[in-house]
A and B are shown apart, each in its own frame.
Chain A
Amino acid sequence: MSATAATATAAQLLGGIALAPLLPGLVQHWKARLQGRRGPTPLQPYRELRRLWGKSAVDVEGAGIVYRLAPSVAAGSVAVAVLLVPVASDAPDLGVGRDALVLAGLLALARFAVAASSWEVANGFALMGASRDLTIAVFVEAALVLALAVAALVSGTTDLVQMIAGTAGSAAWSDPALALGAVAFALVVVAETGRQPVDNPDTHLELTMIHEGPLLEYAGRDLALLQWAAAARHWLVLVLAAQVFLPHAADPRVQLALLPALLAVLCGALALTETLVAKMRILLAPRLLGIAGLVALLGIVAWLVEVT
């Protein structure tokens, strides 16, 4: 393994597992600044994880094995996804392949586990969140697969490493297909990270929750696992956005060097949207994501017209 590949692997593992909570922390921090508040430090998610890890879990009356295993399954499948998504165009296979469409399956597994757990507690608010999350997921998955398909067609493969290489340079600006894919993927990022206008991560009003709803009963280490999984989702989609859909260098060393800056810019962009855009009505979110799917489809048509 070359030195670059070793560095890329280290960055992938360290970043995906240890640095992931920094991303939502940064978004919250900057959002507070943009709104004229001082807000928590970017390290706040780590403090919360430490506090939660020190506490015992709480079992809900009548809950069984699905309730107890769901946080581990959610965190475990997102962790496999972290192994799957490389951060540069020179990275070894870590035993789980590097396919973009497998990523969609792993994210769906995490979602299934959490949603199934909400039936165990038979809590109306948890189920409300789960049913909304799964309904929106229908449109998110279609848009995600189409956006990835644009990048796959441009680069000729669904191998993420070659996808990063195939979309390198200024393709994102010069190639209309990839630009349209980027727009679609931006909306997928917003939905997958549970941010405004699709969901509001700050809400603690049960009636408006989507992603937070099924987490309502969890405490202690269970909640810590679920919060880490949410942070790792930020890492996964933001790394893909930075290294596939935004302009990036062809040299893996430059890619690695610029990654932190790109991630910071994307976190800033998320903070800015959260400040500027209000949460939309839940039933309008599918429409927004449907538009994302149509934009990605337009990207594919653009690519088809380009090559034929």
Chain B
Amino acid sequence: MSFAALVLTGVGAVGAGGLLAIPRRSFAVGLAAQAAGCLLFALGGFWALGADASAGEQFTSTFTPGVGIDALTGLFLGVLGAVGAASLAYATRYLEPTAKGRAIGALTALFLTVQVLVLVARDPLTFLVAWEAMTLVPAAVILVARADEPARRAVVFYVALTHLAGAGTWVAILLLAHEGAIGDPSAVASGSGVQVAIALAALVGMGAKAGLMPLHVWLPLAHPIAPAHISALMSGVMIKIAIYALVRVLVEWLGVLPEWLGVLVLALGALSSVAGVVYALFQHELKRLLAFHSIENVGIIVLGLGACLLLRARGADAWAAFALAAALLHTVNHALFKSLLFLGAGSFERAVGSLELDRLGGLLRRMPWTGGAFFVGAVAIAGLPPLNGFASEWTTLQSLLRVPAYGGVADGTAGALALAALAATAALAALCFVKVVGLVLLGPARREAVAHAEEAPGAMRAGVVALAGGCVLLGVAPGLLFGSLVGLAPWSSDAPTTVGLDLPGTGDFRSGGVALVLAALVGALALLRGRRVAAVAPTWACGQLVERQLDWTSAGFTKPLRLVLEDVLRPEREVVVRTEGGVVREVAYEGRVPHHFEERLYRPVTAFAMVGAHHARRLQSGRLGVYVAYLLALVLVVLTAAKLGILG
């Protein structure tokens, strides 16, 4: 049995699972079948990656439909399978077998299938069709799950933006097909105009789908309102498939790109990572906060890609391969911990209702399994050793450091700035996730429902705990995957084959050793500290009583940073003091950090488009005669133009 057979069986299982999810009686079986299918994707995908083998058709620039698997497809199939299996196992208990739940269950199978189709597509036609379907299916799921006004507006915005910007994908893929460059890097000359045009179009189209700034505004609207397992698949996998497409186009098919394009990619990555995490810090709803973190992490991945392009342009092939592997490793890592965090958030929402950060608290005690796994995910996304987030951020930092080492003054300075941006991003993510674990998991419960939260059912726990296990595994032994990822570079390069990350020119990140020594030392110190405790004492607050009204809030914890960044963020605040007879009766305070991309960039554009549409509507009278007149006028104009020789 080969990996291709495994993937095919997986597609069959997912499809059958989708159909089985429709009748009420076989609903749970259907979801379980989808989970099993995903497991087969994971097995087949990682098998193809490990064996560096391919099956099925080769890439073609013709429009003959064809599918096939190679190592890069295998990697993303593996990620889709791993995240999908955990999410679907979770969904067996998360979704209720109501009409709505069954429709979502069936659509989930469709969503999984179109994502597989994007990955295995070998011709432009299949790719573009699957690409569009991948945008539309989650929109349908959101509309099935929620029909309220804000959800409908978010979906319209999401579909409109990804389609408008998605035109870039069409331009890029069709130009590539026209040049015969799909699967053939020698077809487009390095530094030619068409190469630059394809690269820019791909950055716009695929960058928008990945949530790269400034085309990200749909992401924090659409991701938080989907059902938890769909949010996990969207943030964990769907935006990664856009990264897959970017790697194919920029790294594999376009040959060596000019340096300024590498600098542009670095700049976009730095903007996304820093601005993504800064805006995440000022969100006060958990799922919206997590969505902004997806933008940040896509930024980190794109930083790795930018380093890869620049190093390749400078001829540092070995480090270019490491940079590509760093970007792909972060892709895998982010898929694991972000889907874990979204699934955890779904469990919390089910247990306590609203996910407003200031009204949670103490959930680690009430829900030890889900809470513990969520804690692991938070430490991983904060980029701290010994978990997986650190491994990929370390390799990305090392790659960025090589940009000045091999580059000239201009691109070297850009690399150094990107290095600083990534270091600051990691520290900002730590700040943000200290806030999240503090407000969600630690301290006292902040409302009645939270104090009585119940742990999630077994299947939902299993999903998040399995993903947490993945985060630990790839943190302790990132080398298991890293070697194969280095081999994915189309130029040949030596891959390290250790469990840790021993790269030339570095002091080696011995992840296993660090994890082992750290665990041993922490365990020994905790034992030495002993269980002996003098007394349980109340919190000391300078003699003041510690009251619920004095609880720290999400806005309070991030206030120092807001003040430091005031000139950039321009926060708005309003204080209303109501006095009565010279006595202050009531003070109302409202503060918010506006999302400038949305308000300064998109709102004027939308307003302009609306005005334009208003004028254009006058042309649409709805009377047949007028339309015939339009046609006649058009024909006359074309004929006159032809007569005058304008059309050539």
Query: Are the CB atoms of A135 and B564 closer together than 8 Å?
Result: yes
Interface bracket on A:
35 or more
Please tell me if A75 contacts chain B, counting CB pairs below 8 Å.
Answer: yes
Given contacts A131-B557, A297-B416, contact A104 B423 (CB under 8 A): yes
Interface bits A119-149 vs B (CB < 8 Å: 1, else 0): 1111111010011101101111110111001
> Taking chain B's interface residues, is the majority helix, strand, or loop, or is none over half, making it mixed?
helix
- Residues in A neighbouring B408, C-beta threshold 8 A: 304, 308
Please tell me if B536 contacts chain A, counting CB pairs below 8 Å.
Answer: yes
- Residues in A neighbouring B427, C-beta threshold 8 A: 108, 134, 137-138, 140-142
Please tell me if B420 contacts chain A, counting CB pairs below 8 Å.
Answer: yes
Given contacts A61-B539, A64-B365, A109-B384, contact A131 B390 (CB under 8 A): no
User: Looking at B397, B534, B563, B564, which has the most chain A CB atoms within 10 Å of its CB?
Assistant: B564
Given contacts A123-B541, A304-B413, contact A112 B434 (CB under 8 A): yes
Given contacts A72-B526, A99-B507, contact A123 B546 (CB under 8 A): yes
Interface bits B348-366 vs A (CB < 8 Å: 1, else 0): 0000000000000010110
Within 8 Å by CB of B398, from A58, A158, A304, lies A158
Q: How far is the CB of B83 from chain A (nearest CB, A)?
A: 25
Question: Once bound together, how far apart are the Cα atoms of A111 and B560, in whole Å?
Answer: 17
Question: Once bound together, how far apart are the Cα atoms of A127 and B559, in whole Å?
Answer: 11
Please tell me if B647 contacts chain A, counting CB pairs below 8 Å.
Answer: no
Q: How far is the CB of B398 from chain A (nearest CB, A)?
A: 7
- Residues in B neighbouring A123, C-beta threshold 8 A: 539-541, 546
User: Looking at B364, B382, B426, B539, which has the most chain A CB atoms within 10 Å of its CB?
Assistant: B539
- Residues in A neighbouring B534, C-beta threshold 8 A: 55-58, 219-220
Query: Are the CB atoms of B509 and A131 closer together than 8 Å?
Result: no
Query: Are the CB atoms of B424 and A142 closer together than 8 Å?
Result: yes
Please tell me if B255 contacts chain A, counting CB pairs below 8 Å.
Answer: no
Within 8 Å by CB of A300, from B412, B536, B539, B540, lies B412
User: Looking at B365, B443, B500, which has the most chain A CB atoms within 10 Å of its CB?
Assistant: B443
Question: Once bound together, how far apart are the Cα atoms of A216 and B421, in whole Å?
Answer: 33
> Taking chain A's interface residues, is the majority helix, strand, or loop, or is none over half, making it mixed?
helix
Query: Are the CB atoms of A119 and B505 closer together than 8 Å?
Result: no
Given contacts A61-B537, A97-B513, A134-B427, contact A305 B507 (CB under 8 A): no
Residues of chain A touching chain B, judged by Cβ–Cβ distance below 8 Å, are 55-62, 64-66, 68-69, 71-73, 75-77, 79-80, 83, 93, 95-102, 104-106, 108-109, 111-112, 115-116, 118-125, 127, 130-132, 134-135, 137-142, 144-146, 149, 152-153, 156-162, 206, 216-217, 219-222, 225, 282-283, 286, 293, 297, 300-301, 303-305, 308
Residues of chain B touching chain A, judged by Cβ–Cβ distance below 8 Å, are 362, 364-365, 375, 379, 382-385, 390, 393-394, 397-398, 401, 404-405, 407-409, 412-413, 416-417, 419-424, 426-428, 430-431, 433-434, 437-439, 441-444, 500, 505-510, 513-514, 516-518, 521-523, 525-526, 528-530, 532-542, 546, 550-552, 556-561, 563-564
Known: A80-B514, A108-B426. 17 other contacts (CB 8 A): A76-B522, A79-B521, A83-B517, A95-B510, A105-B383, A105-B385, A111-B430, A112-B379, A119-B439, A134-B434, A135-B564, A142-B424, A149-B416, A153-B401, A158-B505, A221-B529, A304-B408
Q: Would you mind naming 16 contact pairs between A and B with Cβ atoms under 8 Å apart?
A: A58-B535, A62-B362, A80-B514, A80-B518, A108-B382, A108-B427, A127-B438, A130-B434, A135-B560, A138-B424, A138-B561, A149-B401, A297-B413, A297-B420, A300-B404, A305-B409
